[in-house]
Amino acid sequence: MPRLHGFSSRTGENQPLGEFAQTGKFGRMFPRLRPFTPSVESLTELGNAMNDTDPKSTDGDNLNVPAGFTYLGQFIDHDITFDTTALQEVLVDPLAIRNFRTPRLDLDSVYGCGPKTQRYLYQLNDPDLFLIGKTNSQPGDGDNSIPTELPNDLPRASSTLAIIGDPRNDENLIVAQTHLAFLKFHNKIVEGIKNGTIRSVNSTDKSVFEQARELVLWHYQWIVLNDFLTRIIDPEQLHRVLNNGRSFFRFRDEPFIPVEFSVAAYRLGHSMVRGEYDFNRVFTSRPGGVTPATLQLLFAFTAESGNSVPIPSDWIIDWRRFYEIDANVPVQFSRKLDPFLVEPLKNIPNIPQPASLAVRNLLRGRSLGLPSGQSIARYLRFRPLTPAQICTGPDGAIAEKHNFHIQSPLWYYILKEAQIQQQGNRLGQVGSRILAEVFVGLLEADSSSFFASNRDWKPILPAQTSGTFTMADLLNFVGDLNPIGDNLLPIGNSLR
């Protein structure tokens, strides 16, 4: 991989605003802006100051965004980007980095190359359907009365490695259960097409599999644009891009993933993570529960951790606690979009040093030569945050110490902007504009997307509001909201 200690003609200021990256690559959204490369030591100190000091306070909850969207965002990220490069202290040319995902909202992380090529993802007797895994044959430690071997885990080889299109969707239990929901969503649509209760989007000349895949993709793309994005970005910026077109995310024929998006703006989800979750009736801090589902536990039930997989049945998710599905079940929320990450993200296991996610994000931004947040704000013709605004809070004191209140690392700036401009409920101007341009661009560039094929198309599957479709509607359609039920734990049952 080329190592760049300065500018090259491909990434420096001399690059014209029309120089484009190839598909399958990363690239720059703002190639004319200079990289901001402060010292490793200063970024490390700032990252170590980005702490959520009161993670259980409801004041830090984002009442606009139920907790499930944190992991839907991770699932979407795994659909469009896969960068395998390690952290480096020298500048790296983004055009030299391979993206192992297609830069489209096409669920290649789920479908792989389809049943003809990746046969092992699909059922042997009916390749139109995905394989579905079963929970552990041994009862769980939280509630051993729940039946075992339920169809509620990812399919696994030798009861360990997940057989899925992208192994990162087995990184933690919530994203794994999200992936499983999409497998079941596809299977449910296949069944509906075969029994005549669901009609195709365009033509029945296609195979059942292709008809189902198209329906899945169009409803998924609708969710991304109209349920996910509308919750996390400034609606004014999304409205401008949808109605006036893109101005900054430019490409010729095939899109790429800008590093300003993948390394900074779309890492907003790290701020949304909770330290613990109300996972189901067993793993919760509510009365009758055994223990909350801590972030450490959610990362334990994966093949990479070497721990308990397939999951025990008492670790099947209760989706009503993660999305607004049932008014009788209180939903938990994501944490606010601000420069604070919960304690477990300071020491992530099984990765090279530094183990702090905030520090790693800041160093990766330096490695990729991202511009400062202020320079991008001015380029977008926004008024940047003032030095006084950035100096607020414990993180701001460290920012001021290193003059980051004048020029800020892009990822930090975007989170600070969300805190200042939107009180942590949405991204601010810079972060929102980057996300709006990229997501709309990916949909426009995909000739098979609903957005490019028929922008006036409306979802056809059952929904709480006809003509729309949300993640809550998808889960309701699948119908697997709470497989372990609401029964109280047997008296005396506890974790061993």
**Residue pointed to by tokens 């008809």:** 211
Looking at residues 474-485, what average pLDDT do you find?
A: 97
Average pLDDT of the residues in 470-477: 98
122: three-class secondary structure by DSSP: strand
Residue-level pLDDT at 205: 86
Residue type, 353: Q
C-beta of residue 345 within 8 angstroms of C-beta of residue 356: yes
In this prediction, residue 1 carries a pLDDT of 26
Token look-up 């779309």 returns: 266
- The residue extents of the domains of the chain are 3-115+166-275+336-478
pLDDT tens digit sequence for 109-141: 999 989 999 999 999 999 999 999 999 999 999
User: What share of the chain has pLDDT > 90, as a percent?
Assistant: 78
What is the percent of the chain where pLDDT is above 70? 88
With tokens 């990729």, the residue in question is: 368
How many Å apart are CA 22 and CA 195, to the nearest integer?
Answer: 42
pLDDT score, position 109: 94
Q: Is the pLDDT of residue 14 over 90?
A: no
pLDDT of 38 > 70? The answer is yes
Cβ distance 218 to 446 under 8 Å?
Answer: no
For residue 413, the model assigns a pLDDT of: 98
The CA distances from residue 189 to 94, 218, 469, in Å, are: 39, 12, 15
Q: How many angstroms separate the CA atoms of 19 and 29, rounded?
A: 10
Half-sphere exposure of 383 (CA within 13 A, CB side): 5
Render pLDDT for 290-346 as a digit per residue (tens, 0 to 9). 999 999 999 888 877 666 789 999 999 999 999 999 999 999 999 999 999 999 999
Q: What backbone phi and psi angles, to 5 degrees, belong to 63?
A: -70, -5
Q: What is the pLDDT of residues 244-284, one digit of tens each?
A: 999 999 988 788 999 999 999 999 999 999 999 999 999 99
pTM over 0.85: yes
- Rounded to an integer, what distance in angstroms lies between the CA atom of residue 240 and that of residue 385? 21
pLDDT band (50, 70, 90) for residue 142: very high
Does the pLDDT at position 21 exceed 50? no
- The pLDDT assigned to 353 comes to 82
Residue 409 pLDDT more than 70? yes
151-206 pLDDT per residue, tens: 999 999 876 889 999 999 999 999 999 999 999 999 999 999 999 999 988 767 89
Give the model confidence (pLDDT) of 447-460 as tens digits: 999 999 999 999 99
Task: Specify whether the CB–CB gap between 436 and 237 falls below 8 A.
Answer: yes
Q: Name the pLDDT band for 94 (thresholds 50, 70, 90).
A: low
Mention the CATH class of domain 3-115+166-275+336-478: mainly alpha
1-10, 86-95, 248-257, 414-423: which is most confident: 414-423
Whether the pLDDT of residue 350 is over 80: the answer is no
Mean pLDDT taken over the chain: 88
- My answer on whether omega of the bond before 462 falls inside 30° of 0, hence cis, is no
104 pLDDT more than 50: yes
Q: What does DSSP say about strands 293-294 and 333-335: parallel, antiparallel, or unpaired?
A: unpaired
Residue 91 pairs in a beta bridge with 4
Residue 96 has pLDDT above 70, yes or no: no
pLDDT the model gives residue 2:
27
Closest by alpha carbon to 36, among 259, 418, 258, 365?
365
Average pLDDT on 37-60 reads: 95
Residue 91: is its pLDDT beyond 70?
Answer: no
Tokens 């900054």 correspond to what residue?
248
Cite the DSSP H helix spans in 259-409: 259-262, 269-272, 295-300, 357-367, 373-379, 387-390, 393-401
pLDDT range class, residue 26, cuts 50, 70, 90: confident
What integer pLDDT is reported at residue 351 of this predicted model? 75
Location of structure tokens 């349920």: 227
Q: Does residue 391 have a pLDDT over 60?
A: yes
